[in-house]
Amino acid sequence: MALKKGIVYLVGAGPGDPELITVKAVRLLQNADAVVYDRLANPRILAHIPPAAQLYYAGKASSKHSLPQHRINALLVSLAKKGLRVVRLKGGDPFVFGRGGEEILELVKAKIPFQVVPGVTSAISVPAFAGVPVTHRGFTSGFAVFTGQEDPAKEDSSIAWDKISTGIGTLVFLMGVENLGNIVAALVRHGRPPETPCCLIQWGTLPRQKTVSATLATIVKDARAASISPPAILVVGEVVSLRRKLNWFEQQPLFGKRILVTLPAEDNSRLSQRLEQSGADCTALPLISIAALSDYRALDSAIRQIEDFHWVIFTSQNGVKFFKQRLIALNMDVRSLQGVKVASIGPKTKETVESLGLRNDVQPGNYTQEGLLKALKKAGVKGSNILIVRAQEARDVLPDGLAALGAHVRVIPAYKAVLRSERITDPGYLKDFDLVTFTSSSCVHGFFKVFSRRQIFSKKNRFRVASIGPVTSRTCEEYGLKVSIEAKEYTLDGLAAAVLKAYKG
């Protein structure tokens, strides 16, 4: 809803890692009417923006500007005059070579209200991710930050090269790759020793981070050999020598590994988060979506007669959630299940059950239908009336096994899993991934629906396959995929642990 008078929030998005954005910045994005964002703002940050918000790309690469600065200024003023909450999202910190001051002055001129939300600047965070503290009392108590895009040879340089070369311990040059040779030459010419340690850091704070350590005498040659290109920053000073001991980020077991995480569209990316904590570069690929049924008469009837059942069994969190929705729709609640025992297939399903205020009576140690069947056999179900709430399509191991034990079983679906219909036609989409993870058989089916067999089995691919458990592994193998990693505990945490163990080994 438009305000009587709009406002512009100048927001720093941080250096690249999507978790290095401030809480305040996230809140403003979640409530924005319009967002004008830069090239270096991580695309995953845009997921915080509501679908109805207007998006404007104003990215700038070297010599390639999608919008000139004066048009960006005019756009901010125009959007605010419409009464919108406008977020101007800029990489790093908006006041550190972000031209944030210029944009704010235009807002002041147009009498547009504004607020500034600082961001984590790459000048400090990127060196930290490369194991380089910009200050250390054993080396230097000061540092300075400069633009790397200014040519030291120009007569009206705003940088006092004769003073900074020897007067400041640590020098940080942002956007300094294309002008690297001139920067190095100017520093040496004005007294900085050629043997001074330095490093170039490309895509800092991201899993694709690449660092070249050298001296001023060799950095140009080494950077060229390593094909370093923008965005990258240059750090010069004795503190760079500490990288040998403090290089924590690039030493993580999954650093640089590109992992394709196949999952339901509603998944909260827990698996990606766990893998990324160990340095992985994860790409989420939603392959199935969870959808409501068109007809709930069968489930509603069972819920109305819930007192006739001795057991209710849930085989997924989704089953619990849709069961709860039907309780509410029928003007009932969990008190209706008084005296009914509950069984859950795994710990997350159990958590969801208990969040409703229900006690979970049985959960197997082996989180499969087979494991649950074994646990229920031990609990004794002969002669019991059992309601199984599950997906529309699922294996019948559990109901068949319970019937064989003498139980009276009703299987009623609460939701359905819909495979993604949109195909990915890029023939080389999979070639750069080191690993593909599957968290269910449905994801395997969806994978072969989204990609052709030619794409999947291309000789250019090098990915391994990780599976959440033996059932999913069997589905992979039926399609011809060799499973290299299988979780011992059939949960997302278990799968993450198995991947970590495999790469540590």
Catalytic residues: 38, 60, 175
Can you tell me the distance from the alpha carbon of 372 to that of 395, in angstroms, rounded to the nearest whole number? 13
Which tokens is 144 given? 């300075």
Angle at 300 between CA 298 and CA 304, to 5 degrees: 120
Which tokens is 146 given? 């400069």
Which tokens is 474 given? 């069997």
- 3-state DSSP helix/strand/coil percent for the chain, to nearest 5? 35, 25, 40
Q: How far is CA 448 from its chain centroid? A: 24
Identify the CA nearest to 271 among candidates 391, 481, 438, 45: 438
Residue pair 45/18 in contact (Cβ under 8 Å)? The answer is yes
- Residues 317-332, buried b or exposed e (16+ Cβ, 10 A)? bbbbbbbbebbeeeee
Residue 360 per-residue DSSP state? P
For tokens 């845009």, the residue is 46
Residue 284 per-residue DSSP state? E
Contacts of 474 (CB under 8 A, 6+ apart): none
Which tokens is 295 given? 């007809």
Can you tell me the distance from the alpha carbon of 9 to that of 202, in angstroms, rounded to the nearest whole number? 29
- What burial class does residue 492 get, using C-beta atoms within 10 Å of its C-beta: 0-12 exposed, 13-18 middle, 19+ buried? buried
Can you tell me the distance from the alpha carbon of 338 to that of 335, in angstroms, rounded to the nearest whole number? 5
Which tokens is 140 given? 């230097």
> How many C-beta atoms surround the C-beta of residue 398 within 10 A?
25
Containing 210, the helix (H) or strand (E) segment is strand 210-215
Which tokens is 355 given? 């969040």
For tokens 């908006």, the residue is 94
Rounded to 10 degrees, the C-alpha dihedral 210/216/221/227 comes to 20
Residue pair 419/445 in contact (Cβ under 8 Å)? The answer is yes
